[in-house]
Structures are given as structure tokens and as C-alpha cells.
Amino acid sequence: MYPSPIAKWTRLNRAYYLSLLIALTFIWLLPVLLLLNTALKDNDQINTEAGARFTPPSPLSIEGFWTLLANPAFWQSMALSFAIVLPVVVISISFASLAGYALAKHRFLGRTWIFAFFVAGNFVPFQVLTLPVMRLLQDIMIPVPEIDFSWLSNAVQFALGDFITAFLSNLFRAFELKNGSPYNSAWALILFHGAFQTGFCVFFMRNFIAALPTELIEAARIEGAGEFQIFFKVILPLIKPALAALGLLIFTFVWNDFYWSLVLTQGEFTLAPTALVNLARGEWLNRWNVMAGGSIIVALPPLLFFFFLQRQFVAGLTLGANKG
């Protein structure tokens, strides 16, 4: 038994259905509307009026947005977030696609246990990893050669000016290894998230590739193609929708990370959500309009990324859902 199409419903039932959708949409968007309402007020109105979160702004104020947009530290945190998130996405989906292909289409001893290991890692509460991960990143020592980049700094300053040079200099400082340890640097977040997100990515890609017809791979082998040729010329074009969907999910997960950014980085160089908390602190009270405005701005990159890859995202999640 399948429900009848909406077009065949009575007018009264369609009206009930539409009213329910409108009510659920309003409930879903209510936190966003309250966030925007708070962002468009000045901080005095928020702190002095009772129930100010629910009253309309009077007068309208863009202080919550402008305070951050005029602050170079905010743009630095946004740029650093991209510099951390994009490598994590590339590392995770690159390794996961290769591992997923091997686990899905190759038979070898222990592949079930290896796949179970990746799946089991998704069920480990991340809080129990806090101290081990911190100690591991603190104890790792990476030999860093001493290279004089003063000539490059002078060239960039001459070509781009003092402001952009200072901006890039602060961004590069986030990747400096303190005494050879990646802890308290951007490398700590890249290494951790690149490893931590891989378990889910392998699980996702293995199941997706397993649904692909094995006959395509066998035909390529008959033609004399090697394993890497099969992967890059046969498998990769077929899994592009899955890669887009997975890349969007990992981008959103890492971009919104607050906990590990707070644990693994102790200075000014951190992800945008963590930096936003520091920038919204006032001398005596938190600037809630700045916090609300910053939350909206920080949420824009994943949202734009979703709209840019919307078709691939939906295709990646629904491919294989229908038979015939």
C-alpha cells in the first residue's frame, strides 16, 4: 500500500497539509529568525529590555555585523578556517575513496576486520580521546629546517603592500611548529580531523562503491587496465556525486568544530567559531549582537557550498535508492 499522490487529495486535505508544512517550516526557522533579530539590535537594547530577544529591533542596527567585518582578526580566523578545512576535506575523501574501493571490490584476508575497525571508530565518544590526542600531538617532534624567508617577505611587501603582507604573515604564523610539535598550531587540527573523519568517509565510500557493477571493473581488467587506471578512469567518474556529498558533509563538520579547536589551539590562531567567542566578549558583558551577527556570517560558507553543490549532493545521497 502506497499513499495516494497529493494531486489526488481533496482540497481540504491539501489545505491541512500545506498548513502543517508552513507551521513546521516556521518552527524550523525560528532560531534563525531570533538570531537575525538579535544581530540587528544594539547591545544596549539587548541588555536593558526585558524579553529583548523576541521584540523587533528599534532602531535597526548593523553593529553586530560591522564590528566583525571591520576587525582584521575575524577575517584572519575565516581565512585560517579555509586553510584548515580544505586540506582536511581533500585528505579524507582521497584516502577514503581509495580505501573504499579496495574494501568493496577486492577480496583479501582481513578486509572485513579492517572495515569493522573503521566502522567501530565512529562509535568512540570523542571526549575520551581528548587527553590521548593532546599528549600525542605534544610529544610528536617534526624536524623543521631553518630557512630564511626574509627575501620572500620583502618581495610580498613590495608587491602587495603592508596590510596584505601582515595578513599573510599572521596566517603563516598559525602553521609554525613550536619546538617541532604540531600542538597549538593549525597542523594539529589538520592532522586530527584528517584522521578522525576518515573512518566515516571510508564507511560512506565503501558502501557507495560496493553498489557499483563489478562487470565494469572486470571489463577494464580484460582490456589490460591496471588497478590505478581502473580507479581513476572507471570508478572515479562514477563516484563524483558521492565525493561531492561527502566533501560537503566533512566541510560542514570541520568548519563548525568548536571543541577540538578549543582543545588543540590555545592562541589567537583558531577556527572561526572559537575565534568568534573571543571576539564577542566585551569588557563587562558579552556582546550578544556581535555573537549573533558573527554566527550568521560564519554559517554562510557551508550554506553557499551546499547551494553550489546541491545537485551533486542530492544525487550522491539518492543514487542507488531506486531500482529499475
- Does some domain include residue 239? yes
- Does some domain include residue 105? yes
Q: How confident is the model at residue 288 (pLDDT cuts 50, 70, 90)?
A: confident
End-to-end CA distance of the chain: 19
CATH number at residue 217: 1.10.3720.10
| Whole-structure pTM value | 0.81
DSSP string for residues in 231-243: IIIIIHHHSHHHH
- Comparison of pLDDT for 53 and 257, the residue scoring more: 257
Using an 8 Å Cβ cutoff, are 244 and 316 in contact?
yes
Q: Across all residues in the chain, what is the average pLDDT?
A: 81
- Does some domain include residue 162? yes
Lookup result for grid cell 590526542: 133
Residue 172, domain extent: 71-279
- Does some domain include residue 234? yes
- Does some domain include residue 29? no
Instruction: Give residue-wise pLDDT tens across range 224-251.
Output: 888 889 999 989 988 888 898 899 999 9
- Does some domain include residue 310? no
Question: In the chain, where does DSSP find H-type helix?
Answer: 11-39, 43-48, 63-69, 72-105, 111-121, 130-139, 150-160, 162-173, 186-196, 198-210, 214-222, 227-230, 236-238, 240-255, 259-264, 272-279, 288-308, 310-318
Which residues, listed in sequence order, are joined to residue 286 by a DSSP beta bridge?
A: 281
Instruction: Give residue-wise pLDDT tens across range 260-280.
Output: 888 888 766 778 888 887 777
Q: Average pLDDT in the 271-297 region? A: 80
- Does some domain include residue 51? no
Query: Does position 149 have pLDDT exceeding 60, yes or no?
Result: no
Q: Which of 182, 189, 187 is nearest to 262 (CA)?
A: 189
Q: How confident is the model at residue 324 (pLDDT cuts 50, 70, 90)?
A: very low
- Does some domain include residue 138? yes
Q: Which of 119-123, 174-178, 208-212 is predicted with the least confidence, judged by mean pLDDT?
A: 174-178
Q: How many domains does the chain have?
A: 1
Query: Does position 87 have pLDDT exceeding 90, yes or no?
Result: yes
Burial 44-74 (b: 16+ CB within 10 A, else e): ebbbeeeebeeeebeeebebbbebbeeeeeb
Query: Does position 322 have pLDDT exceeding 60, yes or no?
Result: no
Q: CA–CA distance from 102 to each of 120, 134, 202, 308 (Å)?
A: 18, 32, 10, 30
Q: Average pLDDT in the 297-319 region? A: 78
